[in-house]
Amino acid sequence: MSSDGNSSESLPAPIGILAFDIDGTLADDSHDIPQEMLDFLNQIDPNKWVLSILTGRSLPYAKKAVAVLKRPYIIGAFNGSVIRTYPEKKLLYKKMIPPQLVDYIRMVTDSVPHLHSSFFSNSGAIYVTSRHEEEHHSDHFHAADRVDITSKDRIEHSCVMISIVGLKEDMQHAQDLLSQAKGITMTGVRSALIQGKWYCLLITQEEASKGHALEFLAKTYGNAQCPLFRIAAGDDMNDVPMFKVANTSIVMGHARGEVKDYANMIAPHPYTQGLIQAAQEAMSEAERKAAGN
């Protein structure tokens, strides 16, 4: 790429960009990506398609899922707050929540009983209150394979995402209080790491979302004269922003109706094969269109 973010003249721009969610999309119920799906991703021509993984997972946890890929790829972790290329490990951008907002959100969540809050730094380190460490109402904190527990003072100046878990009525109360804050985005998700009656709310800086990440990558790797074709695949509300800026949106068959409203294609059960088939069809159609230009 050239310094202004466009492809250099010696390298033609790819046809398009693929944006895949992990949990509920690429990954199965074990939270791992099946070998069949990994083989499919490895077979995609890197000269034609930029592969991006846009996820609500932390960067270390996302990297663990796709570390065996043998082709270049990009991870947009923390709901699109941090974008890094692999295997180069080049940081393309990060969007941090302002320190004063981190402190305000911490005070709000501490004031509402039974909420479990994780404050993530861009490195994947987490700050949680002692109360949350002791209760262990879910496997949410441990499932992320966290690498470090950091301090309140450190997290205020490096926080890229806050995950809040709680009962519906407690979450609604917290969300009402936090709606007064400017400069953040809140998205409720059906986390694969949370089971039963628990709800999960992801908070990021206002310009950090999977939609912003997909737009950024399309501009970075594309060409102004020939924009990249955008294919997005996901299953939850935090995927909706990327569906809104995609040319083709693939929604998993198990997704809620309000998410399916954004679908151009539905990936049927069995979902690994269904997603592969839908992605192949979408890529073939984009390649036909590109060949006709």
Tokens of 206: 């206002």
**pLDDT score for 133:** 44
Structural contact between residues 59 and 122, judged by C-beta atoms closer than 8 angstroms:
yes
Residue ranges of the chain whose pLDDT lies below 70: 1-12, 129-153, 190-196, 293
pLDDT attached to residue 74: 98
Residue 234 host element (H or E): strand 229-234
The pLDDT value recorded for residue 104 is: 92
Residue 144: what pLDDT?
A: 42
d(CA 216, CA 38): 25
pLDDT of amino acid 251: 97
pTM of the predicted protein model: 0.88
* Residue 92 and residue 120 in contact, taking contact as beta carbons nearer than 8 Å: no
pLDDT in tens, 219-257: 999 877 778 999 999 999 999 999 999 999 999 999 999
What are the C-alpha distances in Å from 68 to residues 33, 64, 72, 87, 135? 10, 8, 11, 11, 35
DSSP strand pairing (229-234 vs 16-20) = parallel
Report how far residue 220's alpha carbon sits from residue 113's, in angstroms, rounded to the nearest whole number.
44
Residue 114's pLDDT is what?
84
**Nearest-angstrom CA–CA distance, 257 and 262:** 9
Q: What is the pLDDT of residue 13?
A: 79
- Give the per-residue pLDDT at 157: 83
**Per-residue model confidence (pLDDT) at position 38:** 97
119-110-203-95 Cα dihedral, nearest 10 degrees: -50
The whole-number pLDDT of residue 3 equals: 39
- Helix, strand or coil for residue 165? strand
Which residue segments constitute the domains of the chain, with CATH numbers given?
16-95+209-292 (3.40.50.1000), 99-205 (3.30.1240.10)
User: Token digits for 121?
Assistant: 């730094």
Residue 22 sits at the vertex; the CA angle it makes with 286 and 210, to the nearest 5 degrees, is: 65
